[in-house]
Amino acid sequence: MDAFKPHLSGLGAYPYRKVDAAIKLDQNESPWDLPEDLKNRALERMRLAPWNRYPDMHAEGVRALLSRFLEWPAEGIVVAPGSNFLLLALAQAAKRVLDTSPSFAFYEGAARVTATPYRSVPLGPDFALPVDGLVREMDEGEAGVVFVATPHAPTGAAFPVPDVARVAARARERGWILAIDEAYCQFSGTDFRPLARENPNVVILRTFSKAFGLGGVRAGFLLAVPDVAGKLQAMLPPFDVPVHTAAIIETVLEFPARAAEVGARLAAERDRVIAALGGHPTWRPCPSRANFFLVRTPDAEAAWRSLLARGILVRRQDHLPGLAGCLRVSVGTPEENDAFLRAAFEATTD
């Protein structure tokens, strides 16, 4: 097709295939839906809103609530219909994209879509942040955007503040933007807002899909200094957060402690499941600070199929560098986690 840009010819779809199962532990979602009372409050707010009018130009109502909740200036907040739109904007704005490997697939995907040069640096031993490698890359050529997720996907590792701060300091020295993805921060208790407050070259990405339990709503946001936020906001379409999305987000932000409570409950479940799985004869769970964890098996395909045959869906990660034999398991309800553990130990008899 001559009408399309040449770089799109080899572009593939996001690597996910839907599979039906009784217990779904494959997408790092919250296992709990929004409570009925909050759903009813959101529906009432939605009912009272005029549907024939466009929503706020840039989700001003949502930004005002986020500003109070996170103690961040509203002019430094960008809200989008999913954090992936913010990743696209960052990649499109950047002269180049730097990442770790393995990593969340859409960091690279956003670079490929926008034809932005992309490089990645392998994680260190025990999934450590490769600070020296990232700094070396940042010292070469033009500046751009470096993505660092902590807790990290897909490993679940939470990087030490001094390591991230070293990358942030080099970003400031060399004119880079360090985009810290904190999608899983409620499960780790970590918070890099202080670093972003003292360093204008740091932006923070967060989502409503995980601890807030709104994966089906599709909403995320970015925290930055006003100048950076303004440039990224200008790259997004106007009126892109619709009335129903804003009504739901504004409702959950009236009860901001709920996300922290969900995060703590799932973190406790995560630790319980990892400890129990430590007694498995052949599977080896990896430490995690997210709402998921990796488990290394002798044969990822056989383990995946064995779990699926018992009604448990998890995510294979053995195609990623350094993750041979690995499955990624989301933390579910206590009952779902017990079912996973039973299936995991039964799998050894197949």
- Express each pLDDT in 27-69 by its tens digit: 999 999 999 999 999 999 999 999 999 999 999 999 999 999 9
Q: Examine residue 212 and state whether it is found in any structural domain, yes or no.
A: yes
| Nearest alpha carbon to residue 104 among 89, 83, 130, 125 | 83
From 235, 58, 10, 59, select the one nearest 145 (Cα to Cα).
235
Q: How much is the pTM?
A: 0.96
The domain that holds 73 is classified in CATH as 3.40.640.10
- Which CATH number goes with the domain that contains 334? 3.90.1150.10
| pLDDT band (50, 70, 90) for residue 14 | confident
In the structure, what pLDDT confidence band is assigned to residue 348 with cuts at 50, 70 and 90?
low
**From CA 68, how far away is CA 178, in angstroms rounded?**
24
Are 176 and 70 within one domain?
Answer: yes
pLDDT at 214: 97
**Taking residues 256-283, what's their average pLDDT?**
97
Domain count, the chain: 2
What pLDDT does 123 receive? 98
Q: Kindly indicate the confidence band of residue 13, based on its pLDDT and cuts at 50, 70 and 90.
A: confident
What per-residue confidence (pLDDT) applies to 39?
97
Provide the 10 A C-beta neighbour count for residue 119. 17
pLDDT given for residue 1 in this prediction: 63
Query: Domain check: are 69 and 187 in the same one?
Result: yes
Residue 308 has pLDDT above 90, yes or no: yes
127 with 73, same domain: the answer is yes
Of 213, 234, 252, the domain-final residue: 252
How high is the pLDDT of residue 350?
57
Q: Tell me: do 136 and 215 sit in the same domain.
A: yes
Does residue 156 belong to any structural domain of this protein?
yes
Q: Are residues 161 and 186 in the same domain?
A: yes
Counting Cβ atoms within 10 Å, is residue 318 exposed (0-12), middle (13-18) or buried (19+)?
Answer: middle
Asked whether residue 144 is assigned to any structural domain, the reply reads yes
Boundary residue ending a domain (218, 252, 286):
252
pLDDT at 46: 97
Sign of CA dihedral 257, 258, 259, 265: positive
Give the pLDDT of residue 152: 98
**Residue-level pLDDT at 10:** 80
Tens of pLDDT along 128-169?
Answer: 999 999 999 999 989 999 999 999 999 999 999 999 999 999
79-107 residue pLDDT tens:
999 999 999 999 999 999 999 999 999 99
Q: Please tell me whether residues 26 and 46 are part of one structural domain.
A: no
Say whether both 55 and 204 belong to one domain. Answer: yes
DSSP 151: S
Same domain? 118 vs 204: yes
Look at residue 181 and tell me whether its pLDDT is greater than 70: yes
In this prediction, residues 250-266 reach a mean pLDDT of: 96
28 and 47 in a common domain = no
Q: Which residue would you say has higher pLDDT here, 341 or 11? A: 341
pLDDT at 349 over 80: no
Which pair of tokens denotes residue 307? Answer: 């779990």
List the domain range (segments joined by +) for residue 296.
Answer: 18-33+257-349
Annotate 245-310 with DSSP letters as a single string: HHHHHHHHTTSTHHHHHHHHHHHHHHHHHHHHHTT-SS-EEPP-SSSEEEEE-S-HHHHHHHHHHT
Q: How far apart are CA 119 and CA 93, in angstroms?
A: 16
Q: Is residue 78 part of a domain?
A: yes
- Give 115's pLDDT tier (boundaries 50, 70, 90): very high
Q: Domain check: are 228 and 299 in the same one?
A: no
Are residue 64 and residue 176 in the same domain, yes or no?
A: yes
List residues bridging with 118 in a β-sheet. 97
86/45 same-domain check: yes
* Last residue of one domain, picked from the residues 227, 252, 277: 252
- As a whole number of angstroms, the distance between CA 55 and CA 172 comes to 36
